[in-house]
Homo-oligomer: A and B are copies of this chain.
Amino acid sequence: MDTPLTDQPDDAEPGAEEELRAGMEHLFFAYRDFIAQPDRILTEYGFGRAHHRVIFFVGRYPGMAVRQLLEILQITKQSLSRVLRQLIREGYVEQRQGETDRRQRRLYLTRQGTELERRLSEDQRQRFARAYGTAGPDAVRGFRTVLDLMISGPPKGGGGG
């Protein structure tokens, strides 16, 4: 589409180094293209990427506490607050007091929020579905294996993943 690059860069080093850099590059492209369409939709609503992340995770884990969301998104309370306030005010997310811990404000998508979530993730779901379908189950397993290994570090180090 718009990546006029050959598979092998000018100073292609043979072997592993090149393989790693190619992976890094393609992860960048995949993520870039992954968020392009939702970004376009969000502008209609006056929302940004952060709103999408909140809607995605609250949709996926209903009843999530604010604290959890902060840990997942790794942003500050102040940043989340502005986004969350907007989503609540405009009727996409609602809060309910926690039952066991009443300090918590547990988060849920409203019907309107669920609709927006569907709309935002439509292209992303199709993108995954297409890639998964074309690549086949073995490749998907490999994809998930590598992706998961990149998330929290090596199983040996533990690191708290």
Can you name 6 A-B residue pairings with CB atoms under 8 Å? A20-B128, A20-B129, A24-B121, A29-B151, A30-B151, A130-B153
Q: Which of B11, B16, B128, B135 contacts A129 (CB 8 A)?
A: B16
The reply to whether B152 and A33 contact each other, CB–CB distance below 8 Å, is yes
- A: interface residue count bin: 35 or more
CB-CB under 8 A from A33, the residues of chain B are 150-152, 161
- A interface, CB within 8 angstroms of B: 1-5, 9-11, 16-17, 19-34, 36, 53, 56-57, 60-63, 68, 71-72, 74, 121, 124-125, 127-132, 134-135, 138-155, 159-161
Find the B residue at minimum CB distance from A148. B26
CB-CB under 8 A from A61, the residues of chain B are 5, 9-10
Q: Which of B10, B60, B134, B146 contacts A154 (CB 8 A)?
A: B134
Q: Which of B27, B121, B134, B142 contacts A141 (CB 8 A)?
A: B142
CB-CB under 8 A from A145, the residues of chain B are 135, 139, 142-143
The reply to whether B62 and A11 contact each other, CB–CB distance below 8 Å, is yes
In the bound complex, CA of A42 to CA of B72 (Å): 22
CB-CB under 8 A from A147, the residues of chain B are 23, 26-27, 30, 143
Find the B residue at minimum CB distance from A3. B72
